[in-house]
Chain A
Amino acid sequence: MKDKLKPYILLSPVLLIIALVFLSGIIMAIVQSFGYFRVAGLNEFTLRYYREVLGSDSFLSSLSFSLYTSLVSSIVAVIFGVLLANTIAKYKNGNNVIKYLYGIPIIVPHIVSVLLVYNILSNTGVLPRILYGIGIINSASEFPSLLYDENGIGIIITYLWKEIPFVAFTTYTVLARISDEFLEVASDLGATNKQAFFHVTLPLLMPSILSSFIIIFAFSFGAYEVPLLLGPTKPKALAVQAFIEYSNPVLENRPYAMVINVIITFISFILASIYYRLFQKIHKY
């Protein structure tokens, strides 16, 4: 009897905090998104805020901007992260290398990695200065606009700086445990390195690739600080737009902010479950 309750008891503190802060936060957001915000005198549930937001051009461009930056950065991060992990795994001292190198980007917060990218890739950053010195470009404005631009490249690179090492690390820990025997067997059976990688290693890595992908995608899709600092005037990333609406002194505007918040959350969930199923399929083959 006691044993049956034990897991619930152990879980109760964490679930309490999650319920009180996390769940109630989401519920409040959902409720307010439907227009119910008593304090501002809004007493009815309505879908009109959703209709307005989903129909507005500026929302749709924010949505595609956020989707674009998070998808591109997450996919690139996964590809390079796995390749990197694979390369390091072949090296005997891999363990130490990965531990110390990985530690650096993990400790650096996202706003500092914004600064790193700004220092190097802004129009007057270190890279254009070097190019100018060599003579490849003749003025600061000739250097391509990577920051504050619709192409979102500055934002993507900022994410990549932290995410490639992250993916590499989580993948490496799994990779390190994959017995060399698997690979030997594969090579005995006549597989090339490439074939062995795609047919043996990769499927084994899928679960950790999946989870890292979901983590980095969800983070970048709902991120605030990085697109605030490096994004263009228009379109603004979703979370940035949500806070602008939230800060509106006219309280009746609050539902618009919450609609955006709920949509971000909803899309993150949907996409996460889609990736999950997609990866399951790939895994199976």
Chain B
Amino acid sequence: MRDKNQYKRILAIFICFLIIPLGVLLIWSFSKNWSWPNVFPSKFGLRGWEYFFDSSSNSINILFFSICLSLVVTFFTLIITIPAAKALSFYEFKGKKIIELLIYAPIIVPPVAVAMGIHFQFIKIGLANTFIGVVLVHIIPCIPYSVRILKSVFELMGRNIEEEALDLGANRLQCYIYITLPLILPGVLSAGSIVFIVSFSQYFLTFLIGGGRVVTFSMLMFPFIQSGDRMIASVYSIVFIVTTVVVLFIVEKMTYKFYRDVKRWYL
């Protein structure tokens, strides 16, 4: 009984720790005049939101562009990490430890170091200031997260299921659609979500490699946070959070729907 109360208290503190700052963010976004020492704004207004929606600030275009960029990053990261995770969980082979180290290394090596190191080369081969260049650098920090999640997914699934299906006469494609895919789909979605978030949140990588030509939403938001312009920064932050939630939600729903359609079609 005592435990339960203590638990509730701890949970309550944790929730406050998380939610209250976000609530303050919301209030700031709607404030017009909130000077010291008022605990609540003395005047409310929509100037921040107007600035955001005003076409001259170009914010909506950049938002959609950033979503596209991060979706592209997610797509390519998944394509290369799904087979990699499968290899790492199902097979034993020479050099496995080194390869694993390489794959997880981007977590230890700071992205700023890699970006500064590769920047010059990118300029030389024309990848700097391009969409593809930025996508490539985004993929790097995303790889370890994706592999980590997918690896445990494959381990959970186990090698045997696929082999049994093949033994029972299914061909590769059937095996993939009916056995593998449904089993790894939740894991793929989860890995994809993390990758999307990591990419969407990037600032320095896009800033350096994009050279001002490839502008993402984080880059748009950054100067306002840096200069302490709380109202506009809060507006952009809320848009960021809401956008991420919405995008991930839509992708999840669409994936399941698509999967059901494909199954039906194949049948």
B and A form one assembly: yes
Closest to B110 in A: A222
A97 touches B113 (CB 8 A): no
Residues of A within 8 A of B117 (CB): 24-29, 32, 258, 261
Residues of A within 8 A of B230 (CB): 115, 118-119
Within 8 A of A (CB), among B39-69: 39
B218 touches A111 (CB 8 A): yes
A107 touches B241 (CB 8 A): yes
B140 touches A21 (CB 8 A): yes
Residues of B within 8 A of A (CB): 3, 6-7, 10-11, 14-15, 17-22, 24-25, 28, 36-39, 79-81, 83-84, 86-88, 90-91, 93, 96, 99, 102-103, 105-118, 120-121, 136-137, 139-140, 143, 147, 194, 197, 200-201, 203-204, 218, 221-222, 225-226, 228, 230, 233-234, 237, 240-241, 244-245
CA distance A161 to B18 in the complex (A): 7
Residues of A within 8 A of B11 (CB): 87-88, 91, 97
CA distance A132 to B37 in the complex (A): 7
B93 touches A21 (CB 8 A): no
| A129 CB within 8 Å of chain B | yes
B87 touches A119 (CB 8 A): no
B108 touches A272 (CB 8 A): yes
With A13-B79, A109-B200, A119-B234 given, is the CB distance from A28 to B121 under 8 Å?
Answer: yes
A222 touches B93 (CB 8 A): no
Residues of A within 8 A of B83 (CB): 9-11, 13-14
B18 touches A101 (CB 8 A): yes
A112 touches B237 (CB 8 A): yes
B interface secondary structure, majority: helix
B222 touches A28 (CB 8 A): no
Closest to B118 in A: A25
Residues of A within 8 A of B107 (CB): 214-215, 218-219
Other than A25-B114, A108-B22, give 14 A-B pairs with Cβ distance below 8 A: A8-B87, A13-B80, A18-B105, A22-B106, A84-B10, A87-B10, A112-B241, A115-B233, A116-B25, A129-B36, A132-B36, A133-B37, A222-B113, A257-B116
Q: Could you list some 21 contacts between A and B, CB below 8 A?
A: A9-B83, A11-B84, A11-B99, A17-B140, A18-B105, A25-B117, A26-B113, A26-B117, A28-B120, A104-B19, A106-B197, A107-B244, A120-B21, A133-B37, A133-B39, A164-B17, A215-B107, A224-B110, A225-B204, A265-B109, A272-B108
